Amino acid sequence: MIDPELCHELVKRTGAPDVACLARAAPHVAHELFLLRHCWMDQGRRTGWTLWYITARALMDFFFTYQRTKSSDDILAADFLSPGEWKARAEEYADAAQPPDYAACRLVANKLSAHLTYSRLALVTSGPSAAVHDYLMGIMGMWLDALAPERRAWFNPWFPQHT
């Protein structure tokens, strides 16, 4: 097993994390999943509004980037499942349920929350998208349900399984 502090080097070198790296990454993923819901509840505050967009964008990348580029050490939903398994499930759901304002919401997340650009002057939004929020929450549940029991257990402190 590699020194857990060197997970980013392992991923850059091999293109994939080992089980120890996944276990160490799980609390960071759980934190972002948890934040999405709580930022939604606080969207009436400027910080909640901004954090919802930033968190939604991070999760869009997490759920819908199926292979990392050579120099990337991004944590991907696909890392936690067998090769190709997540992509097939996620694309099927994306085709059937992706809200029409998904791309626009991502653009707003990029320009109104993550960067100070002149592009933001032309963007108008009334706030986070309920449809995109519900969609990402559904994707989250589907992903958690797809995890093998030993990997799902890493997320139980944040998202207990209902029996």
Q: What is the pLDDT of residue 137?
A: 94
Q: What is the pLDDT of residue 5?
A: 61
Q: What is the DSSP string of the chain?
A: ---GGGHHHHHHHHSS--HHHHHHHHHHHHHHHHHHHHHHHTTTSHHHHHHHHHHHHHHHHHHH--S--TT-----GGGGSSTTHHHHHHHHHHHHH--TTHHHHHHHIIIIIS---GGGGG---SSS-HHHHHHHHHHHHHHHHHS-HHHHGGGTTTSPPP-
> Over 60: is that where the pLDDT of 146 sits?
yes
> Over 60: is that where the pLDDT of 2 sits?
no
Could you give the CA distance from residue 51 to residue 36 in angstroms, rounded to a whole number?
Answer: 8
Q: Report the mean per-residue pLDDT for the chain.
A: 88
Q: What is the pLDDT of residue 128?
A: 85
Alpha-carbon separation of residue 74 from 21, 38, 79, 117 (angstroms):
12, 23, 10, 24
Q: What is the pLDDT of residue 94?
A: 80
